[in-house]
Amino acid sequence: MTFASFVQDTDFINALYIVAFSLFAIGIAGLTGPRTAVRGNRVAAVGMAIAVVATLLYEQVGDWELIAIGIVIGAVVGVPAARTVKMTQMPQMVALFNGVGGGAVALIAWAEFRDRGGEGLSQLEFGIPLVFAAIVGSISFWGSNIAFAKLQELISGKPLKIPGGVFLNLALLAIAVGCGIAILAGSDNELLFIAILVSAAILGNTFVLPIGGADMPVVISTLNAFTGLSAAAAGMALDNIALIVAGMIVGASGTILTQQMAEAMNRTIVSVLMGGFGGEAPAVAGPGGETGGTVRSTSAADAAIQMAYARQVVVVPGYGMAVAQAQHAVRELGKALEGRGVEVKFGIHPVAGRMPGHMNVLLAEADVPYDQLKEMDEINGEFGRTDVSLVIGANDVTNPDARNKTDSPIYGMPILNVDDSQSVIVLKRSMSSGFAGIDNPLFYNPKTQMLFGDAKASVSEIVSELQGI
């Protein structure tokens, strides 16, 4: 056996694939702890490199210049995007990367159909996964793009009512599946395949558009799982074990993440994906509105004095902190308070921001010590002992209506009980409602003072006031 025939042997390539997906598993296991996470990600990346090299060994791999063009284009687009994206824009970046993955699956399925025709797809063990890959890949591509556009605020984050709603979606799915069945029955009319891709594309749009921006993490996670499953399906069609295993691992992980996120919001996956909530609810009742009561506003100087003489301050960050890029200023504030002997903790709601862990990433970027970051269950017992809770651009995750107003759309969602603390200072741009589009009685609580303005500017101002005390 020559060297060339050895390395091109299918068993050898598959052995490399086994090494590759073992590294994926080890890598993901590493991602479960902050200490091993960096290494875990790199281990998985090495696994990916091995999988790519192994694939290039296949004898029939050719058109090297085309492969090079594709990879160079991908690298030229992907590397700078990944290098320069701001941490605050991470959720939409993940949505985009997820989308192109789904798009790649759909395109590969399309090329395979063009190459083999309906006759090839009528071999069901090949055809069924390929049609599945085309439908799900296309949904994932378009759905992710819409999720990106919503988070990037290219289109309104508010839910967009689609006439027909669920029925339209079911009809689109039926069209896609129907065309798929016609192809599996032996038709090689390419229009049928294009109809699959197009109806799935429209479905991707109509599926995500009615979902409010607050639910985007759940949507991205769902689409992440979708892309994984479609990759696994493509693997079944192409008889490629690396694709099958890696795709299924991602499919399973995305499903778990989706479930955890939905649970954190006390909603079911189904109710999230059916759309609504986040705009459907009556919009802001403003000061003196439905909720009644008056809003007390305060100044940076006053806020600084309150915190300077507190024993414990709990900072509750939300998406507003991300938007204002206030994390570094917040770190400065934390340091200044600690310098005065104030105990500083951060209360992180699982769905604060636009993704689970979003706040942790931002605060980590600003070098906030890991042990100051407290998860919801841990911090909720602390509010009773807290003198000042500083809410920075968070809204729905502090809304007491979730505890006691049964007709509120967020009723039942676990929240951070900031209203248990002695006093609450809320940094906010204006009295507008949160992403869920509902009013927050916390702002009318007599304990609460509002400090209006850009979060970063307000925090910096408090820091400079603190230095003067």
Ranges within 356-385 binding other proteins (CB under 8 A): 356-358, 360-361, 364-365, 367-371, 373, 375
Would you call 63 a catalytic residue per the annotation?
Answer: no
Nearest of 441, 411, 107 to residue 288 by alpha carbon: 441
Indicate whether 194 belongs to the interface with other proteins (CB under 8 A): no
Q: Distance (Å, rounded) from C-alpha 305 to C-alpha 300?
A: 9
Please report the DSSP string for 220-282 in residue order: HHHHHHHHHHHHHHHHHHHT-HHHHHHHHHHHHHHHHHHHHHHHHTT--HHHHHT-B-SSSS-
Q: Does 303 bind other proteins (CB under 8 A)?
A: no
Return the number of the residue (68 or 174) whose C-beta is nearest other proteins: 68
Which amino acid would we find at residue 160? Answer: L
Which is closer to other proteins, CB of 242 or CB of 324? Answer: 242
Torsion of CA 37, 84, 80, 357, to 10 degrees: 30
Hey, which residues between 22 and 41 contact other proteins (CB under 8 A)? 24-25, 27-29, 31-35, 37-38, 40-41
Judged by CB under 8 A, the chain residues 408 through 467 that form the site for other proteins are none
Q: Is 191 in the site for other proteins (CB under 8 A)?
A: no
The single residue of 215, 396, 439, 454 carrying the catalytic annotation is 396
Backbone phi, psi, residue 348, to 5°: -110, 115
DSSP 462: H
Least gap, CB of 143 to other proteins (angstroms)? 14
- Position among 159, 180, 213, 254 found at the interface with other proteins (CB under 8 A): 254
Instruction: List, in sequence order, every residue forming a beta bridge with 297; answer none if it has no partner.
Output: 450
Which residues between 215 and 234 bind other proteins (CB under 8 A)? 220-221, 224, 227-228, 230-232, 234
CB closer to other proteins, 377 vs 407? 377
Residue from 184, 246, 316, 413 in contact with other proteins (CB under 8 A): 246
Task: By CB under 8 A, name the one of 4, 7, 74, 381 that touches other proteins.
Answer: 74
Q: Helix 455-468 crosses helix 327-339 at what angle (to 10 degrees)?
A: 20
Beta carbon of residue 129, minimum distance to other proteins (angstroms, whole number): 9
Say how far apart CA 230 and CA 211 lie, in whole Å: 22
Least Cα distance to 260 among 236, 301, 289, 224 occurs for 224
Q: Work out how close the CB of 435 gets to other proteins at its nearest, in angstroms, rounded to a whole number.
A: 17
Non-local CB neighbours of 214 within 8 Å, separated by 6+ positions: 157, 277, 278, 396, 434, 435, 436
Query: By the 8 A CB rule, do 451 and 300 touch?
Result: yes
CB of 195 to other proteins, least distance (A): 17
Sheet holding 388-392, edge to edge: 373-375, 343-348, 312-317, 388-392, 423-428, 448-452
Q: Based on CB atoms, which residue is closest to other proteins, 147 or 438?
A: 147
Q: How far is the CB of 52 from other proteins (least distance, A)?
A: 7
Q: In the complex, what is the shortest distance from the CB of residue 63 to other proteins, in angstroms, rounded to a whole number?
A: 5
Count interface residues toward other proteins (CB under 8 A).
119
18 binds other proteins (CB under 8 A): no
Binding positions for other proteins, 115-174, rule CB under 8 A: 115-116, 120, 123, 125-126
Nearest distance from C-beta of residue 193 to other proteins, angstroms: 12
Identify the helix (H) or strand (E) that includes residue 376.
Answer: helix 376-380
- Measuring CA to CA, which residue among 316, 211, 314 is closest to residue 267? 211
Catalytic residues: 396
